[in-house]
A and B are shown apart, each in its own frame.
Chain A
Amino acid sequence: MTTPDEIGGEREVGEGAWLEAMQRLASGEARLVSLWADGAEARMALSSAGRADLELLSYSCVDGAFPSVGAAHPPAIRLERALCDLHGLRAVGARDTRPWLDHGRWPIRHPLGAGEASPAAPEPYAFLAAEGAGLHQIPVGPVHAGIIEPGHFRFHASGETVVRLEERLGYVHKGVDRLMSGADLTRGAQLACRVSGDSTVAYQIAFARAAEAALGIAVPRRAVWLRALMAELERLANHLGDIGAICNDASFSLMHAHCGILRERVLRAAKGAFGHRLMMDAVAPGGVAMDLNLGGRQALRDLATLVRDRFPRLVELYDNTASLQDRTVGAGVLDGELAQRFGCGGVIGRASGGAFDARRDHPYAPYDELRFDVPTLREGDVNARVWVRIREVEESLRLIAQILDRLPSGPVRVEVAPSGAPGEAHALVEGFRGDVFVSLRLAADGTIARCHLRDPSWFQWPLLEAAIENNIVADFPICNKSFNCSYSGHDL
Chain B
Amino acid sequence: MRRVLLEGVIHGPLTESAPDADDPELVALAQEVKSAATASLGRSLSIRHVDAGSCNGCELEIHALGNAFYDLERFGLRFVASPRHADVLLVTGPVTRNMREALERTYAATPAPKWVIASGACAKDGGVFAGSYAITGGVGDVVPVDLHIPGCPPSPAALLKGLLALMQGRGG
Pair from one complex: yes
Residues from 76 to 93 in A contacting B, C-beta threshold 8 Å: none
Indicate whether A306 reaches chain B with its CB closer than 8 angstroms: no
Taking a contact as CB atoms closer than 8 A, the residue among B59, B61, B98, B134 that contacts A149 in the complex is B59
Indicate whether A297 reaches chain B with its CB closer than 8 angstroms: no
Q: Which B residues are CB-close (under 8 A) to A320?
A: 1
Cβ A260 vs Cβ B57 within 8 A: no
Q: Which A residues are CB-close (under 8 A) to B155?
A: 277
Cβ A143 vs Cβ B50 within 8 A: yes
Q: Which B residues are CB-close (under 8 A) to A178?
A: 132-133
Closest approach, in angstroms, between the C-beta of B131 and any C-beta of chain A?
Answer: 7
Which of B24-32, B38-46, B64-72 lies at the binding interface?
B64-72
Most buried by A among B4, B56, B66, B81: B56
Closest approach, in angstroms, between the C-beta of B110 and any C-beta of chain A?
Answer: 11
Q: Which A residues are CB-close (under 8 A) to B131?
A: 179
Taking a contact as CB atoms closer than 8 A, the residue among A196, A314, A321 that contacts B55 in the complex is A196
Taking a contact as CB atoms closer than 8 A, the residue among A106, A197, A257 that contacts B58 in the complex is A197
Taking a contact as CB atoms closer than 8 A, the residue among B49, B97, B106 that contacts A147 in the complex is B49
Taking a contact as CB atoms closer than 8 A, the residue among A106, A190, A258 that contacts B4 in the complex is A258
Taking a contact as CB atoms closer than 8 A, the residue among A142, A174, A280, A321 that contacts B129 in the complex is A174
Indicate whether B5 reaches chain A with its CB closer than 8 angstroms: yes
Q: Which residue of A lies closest to B131 (CB)?
A: A179
A264-B64, A313-B4 as given contacts; A200 in contact with B98, CB under 8 Å? no
Q: How far is the CA of A241 from the CA of B60 in the complex (A)?
A: 9
Q: Which residue of B lies closest to A108 (CB)?
A: B133
Closest approach, in angstroms, between the C-beta of B94 and any C-beta of chain A?
Answer: 7
Which of A165-173, A225-233, A351-359 lies at the binding interface?
A165-173
A105-B100, A147-B79, A148-B51 as given contacts; A254 in contact with B135, CB under 8 Å? no
* Tally of chain B residues near chain A (CB < 8 A): 50
Indicate whether A146 reaches chain B with its CB closer than 8 angstroms: yes
Cβ B67 vs Cβ A194 within 8 A: no
Taking a contact as CB atoms closer than 8 A, the residue among B81, B82, B134 that contacts A174 in the complex is B134
Taking a contact as CB atoms closer than 8 A, the residue among A106, A107, A173, A278 that contacts B60 in the complex is A278
Q: Which A residues are CB-close (under 8 A) to B77?
A: none
Cβ B56 vs Cβ A488 within 8 A: yes
Closest approach, in angstroms, between the C-beta of A380 and any C-beta of chain B?
Answer: 25
Q: How far is the CA of A8 from the CA of B62 in the complex (A)?
A: 40
Taking a contact as CB atoms closer than 8 A, the residue among A142, A198, A257, A314 that contacts B102 in the complex is A142
Q: How far is the CA of A413 from the CA of B56 in the complex (A)?
A: 28
Q: How far is the CA of A187 from the CA of B135 in the complex (A)?
A: 18
Cβ B68 vs Cβ A257 within 8 A: yes
* Tally of chain A residues near chain B (CB < 8 A): 52
Q: How far is the CA of A326 from the CA of B59 in the complex (A)?
A: 29
Q: Which A residues are CB-close (under 8 A) to B152?
A: 194, 280
Q: Which A residues are CB-close (under 8 A) to B59?
A: 147-149, 197
Q: How far is the CA of A179 from the CA of B155 in the complex (A)?
A: 26
Q: Which A residues are CB-close (under 8 A) to B140?
A: none
Cβ A172 vs Cβ B57 within 8 A: no
Cβ B96 vs Cβ A147 within 8 A: no
A174-B129, A179-B132, A313-B4 as given contacts; A280 in contact with B99, CB under 8 Å? no
Q: Which A residues are CB-close (under 8 A) to B56?
A: 149, 196-198, 486-488
Closest approach, in angstroms, between the C-beta of B112 and any C-beta of chain A?
Answer: 19
Indicate whether B14 reaches chain A with its CB closer than 8 angstroms: yes
Q: Which B residues are CB-close (under 8 A) to A278?
A: 57, 60, 153
Indicate whether A267 reaches chain B with its CB closer than 8 angstroms: yes
Q: Which residue of B lies closest to A103 (CB)?
A: B98
Contact with B along A275-299 (1 / 0, CB 8 A): 0011010000000000000000000
Indicate whether B35 reaches chain A with its CB closer than 8 angstroms: no
Q: How far is the CA of A302 from the CA of B132 in the complex (A)?
A: 43
Cβ A257 vs Cβ B129 within 8 A: no
Taking a contact as CB atoms closer than 8 A, the residue among B4, B63, B100 that contacts A317 in the complex is B4
Indicate whether B138 reaches chain A with its CB closer than 8 angstroms: no
Cβ A179 vs Cβ B4 within 8 A: no
Indicate whether B168 reaches chain A with its CB closer than 8 angstroms: no
Cβ B68 vs Cβ A106 within 8 A: no
Q: How far is the CA of A196 from the CA of B96 in the complex (A)?
A: 15
Q: How far is the CA of A362 from the CA of B50 in the complex (A)?
A: 38
Cβ A105 vs Cβ B4 within 8 A: no
Closest approach, in angstroms, between the C-beta of B168 and any C-beta of chain A?
Answer: 24
Cβ A150 vs Cβ B51 within 8 A: yes
Q: How far is the CA of A431 from the CA of B68 in the complex (A)?
A: 27
Cβ A321 vs Cβ B128 within 8 A: no
Closest approach, in angstroms, between the C-beta of A200 and any C-beta of chain B?
Answer: 7
Contact with B along A201-232 (1 / 0, CB 8 A): 00000000000000000000000000000000
Q: How far is the CA of A154 from the CA of B68 in the complex (A)?
A: 35
Cβ A314 vs Cβ B106 within 8 A: no
Contact with A along B104-145 (1 / 0, CB 8 A): 001000000000000000000001110111110000000000
Cβ B1 vs Cβ A317 within 8 A: yes
Cβ B51 vs Cβ A172 within 8 A: yes
Residues from 139 to 176 in A contacting B, C-beta threshold 8 Å: 142-143, 145-150, 170-176
Cβ A261 vs Cβ B68 within 8 A: yes
Contact with B along A109-128 (1 / 0, CB 8 A): 00100000000000000000
Listed from nearest, the 8 A-B pairs whose CB atoms lie closest are A197-B57, A175-B134, A175-B132, A145-B81, A260-B67, A197-B56, A197-B55, A105-B97
A-B residue pairs in contact (CB < 8 Å), sample of 18: A107-B133, A111-B134, A142-B99, A146-B81, A148-B51, A149-B51, A171-B53, A172-B54, A179-B131, A197-B55, A197-B60, A241-B63, A260-B68, A263-B64, A313-B3, A317-B4, A320-B1, A488-B56
